[in-house]
Structure 1
Amino acid sequence: MSKFNENEKEQIRQCLLTKGKELFIQYGLSKTSIDDLVQACGISKGSFYKFFTSKEELFYVILQNQEEISNRLIGEHLRKNLPPKELISSFFHMAFQMADENPLLQQWFEDGEHERIIRKLPKHLVDDFAQDNDKKGIVFVQALIERGVLKEQDPEVINGVMRAIMMLRLYKEKFGSDLFPKIMDVIIDYISEGLTKPV
């Protein structure tokens, strides 16, 4: 395989991210092969592995790079002027709605897919993204505490609570699409009350 210069490497990486996103949305992760990905970018299979260890890693990087999802969610809720409990409730409901509307997140939350994908990823990649997401989440929580939306608590703990609520989306299929929203309405109501009610 011929060596790529830095410019060519960046172009190939961007091609894999762009074409990968298109193929994953169109066919799904399981039905998209590495052959499909390399053909779309005009590279060899050996070249693919210079950039990603698996199609699951490519999918995960694409998913994590969708900054507009978290930026929109956080940005809109930092601008909203709602009573504290309503603001936190709105945040959770909008997060679940965005997960349901985004085709890549839908695949991520499919029964068993989350665990299967994570198992195929390099540990450092998962850890790095988790740290980045935690930092963003903690900054968001601190901003809400400063505004008086959330009561004074450890931002790291509150961020963990918020992440735990979002992870419940993994169980939607187990509860069923009719029952799950009703369960989440109750949980979100209790959590929003508990996070915002003054001590």
Structure 2
Amino acid sequence: MRGFDDEERERIEEELVETGRERLVRYGPAKTNVVDITEPVGIAKSTFYRFFDTKAELYVEIYRREVAEFAEGTRAEIDEADSSREGLEALFRSYAGWLEDNPFVQRMVVQSDYRSFYQDVPDETMEAIQREGLAEFEAVFEPLREREGGLREDVETIELLGLLSLIGLLVIHREEYDNYNASYYERVRDLLIETLARGLVG
């Protein structure tokens, strides 16, 4: 079996990630198989497993990149805020908008039972991803901690991520709110964001 040099490996991995993302957004995870991803890249199905042990690990890599891109963009928004409270509101609104508008996140998190697709990912891989995510968001929250009147000292990053999850749950159940009233979801979302931001500053 022919090996790949570093440049080829990098190119193929990037193409697998890009093609995988496009196929997952278009067809969803349940209707996307490995061949759907490898054929456009021009490699055999068996070669896929030289890059990712499972299809789920490809999903994880795509999601990891989406999170890193979101965190980077959000840091810029927080830097422009005049206060920690405004920075928190910017973060929470950005996160809600990311869940609402990002097509990959919509497919994998909002419209699907994402947990079932990650069952094949080894525990150590998931733990590493969680550590990376924690570090990504610690870098997001750190400027808010350093400002005068900033984040409450008793609130840890993992707890802030838990509060982001509350916003995520609201987005996942958006349809139920929309069925009640056309503007109900937006009103509840905005009130939640304002209340969380107000309660988290010292």
| Class of the TM-score when normalised by the shorter of the 2 chains | 0.7 to 0.9
Q: Which letter maps to 2:119?
A: R
Q: Which letter maps to 1:13?
A: E
Distance 2:2 2:168 in 1: 43
In the TM superposition, 1:11-160 aligns within 5 A as 11-66=11-66, 67-81=68-82, 83-148=83-148, 149-160=150-161
Where does the alignment leave 5 or more consecutive residues of structure 1 unmatched? none
Q: CA RMSD in A?
A: 2.4
Q: Which letter maps to 2:47?
A: S
Distance 2:30 2:95 in 1: 25
- Per-residue deviation, 1:102: 0.8
| Alignment CA distance shift 1:111-1:127 (3 Å) | same
Instruction: List per-residue Cα deviations over 1:109-152 (Å, max 9, x = no partner).
Output: 23442211222322222211110111122232222011133233
Instruction: List per-residue Cα deviations over 1:7-26 (Å, max 9, x = no partner).
Output: 33222212211222222233
Distance 2:60 2:113 in 1: 12
Distance 2:199 2:112 in 1: 31
Which is further off, 32-41 or 61-70? 61-70
Distance 2:15 2:108 in 1: 22
Distance 2:76 2:18 in 1: 25
Which is further off, 17-26 or 163-172? 163-172
Distance 1:41 1:91 in 2: 36
Q: Is the 8 A contact 2:85 2:198 kept in 1?
A: yes
Q: Which letter maps to 2:69?
A: E
The residue number in structure 1 matching 2:169 is 168
Distance 2:37 2:158 in 1: 40
SS at match of 2:121: coil
Where does the alignment leave 5 or more consecutive residues of structure 2 unmatched? none
1:190 aligns with 2:195: yes
Q: Is the 8 A contact 2:38 2:45 kept in 1?
A: yes
Q: Is the 8 A contact 2:29 2:108 kept in 1?
A: no
| Alignment CA distance shift 1:124-1:166 (3 Å) | farther
**TM-score where L is the length of structure 1:** 0.83
Distance 2:142 2:7 in 1: 39
Which is further off, 116-125 or 35-44? 116-125
Q: Is the 8 A contact 2:84 2:147 kept in 1?
A: no
Distance 2:61 2:81 in 1: 30
